[in-house]
Amino acid sequence: MMFSLTEEQSSLARSAILCASAREDVRAAITQIYRDLQTQIDARRPLCQLSGRCCRFEEFGHRLYVTTLELATFLHELNQSPDPDWTGQGCAFQKNKLCSVHQIRPFGCRLFFCDSTSTDWQHEQYQLFHTRLRQLHDELAVPYFYLEWRQALHILSSEF
């Protein structure tokens, strides 16, 4: 079972995301975290099979969670709407087994690989970089929300 936000919590999260999406310092900070993460990925070189399984959450047995800052940056850079035929399963931005928003995808998407030899490394990097993300919320005075991806898309649906 997935945690559900109240209407008030959803409204607060939406407001925080929209306010942060207009801030250049937010985008710069998230861009730097993503660059630093990419350096770690390049050093480890985990295997991506381009199967699209990582985006089919129910099938693969996982969930994607995102923070306020990530959502703000994603929303600012988004230049397309989610798939209008999306059923609520998997990711609304997966098309033909590929990510249609690959360049602006959230942190969890950047770090998740089907490569079974990377599991421990992924967990370690997730903890390290999520801690940095969490600290950035405090440093930038942006309310911290940690939302399931599809709930976040629902909260932001009027912005697409």
SS3 labels along 15-56: HHHHHHHCCHHHHHHHHHHHHHHHHHHHHHCCCCCCCCHHHC
User: Coil, strand, or helix at residue 65?
Assistant: strand
Q: Which of 62, 3, 40, 58 has its CA nearest to residue 118?
A: 40
Q: Does the predicted model carry a pTM greater than 0.85? A: yes
98/157 Cα distance (integer angstroms): 22
Per-residue b/e over 74-109, b at no fewer than 16 CB within 10 Å? bbbebeeebeeeeeeebbbbbeeeebbbeebbbbbb
What single letter denotes the amino acid at residue 16? A
| Per-residue pLDDT, 38 | 94
Q: What is the model's pLDDT at position 2?
A: 58
- Averaged over successive runs of 10 residues, the pLDDT of the chain (160 residues) comes to 82 97 98 96 82 78 92 96 86 88 93 80 92 98 95 90
| pLDDT (0 to 100) of residue 95 | 87
Angle, alpha carbons 95-98-100 (nearest 5°): 65
Q: How far apart are CA 7 and CA 84, in angstroms?
A: 24
Place of tokens 């932001």: 156
The greatest distance separating any two alpha carbons of the chain, rounded to the nearest whole angstrom, comes to: 43
Least Cα distance to 70 among 127, 29, 113 occurs for: 29
Given this model, what pLDDT does residue 51 score? 73
Distance between CA atoms of 1 and 53, rounded to whole angstroms? 21
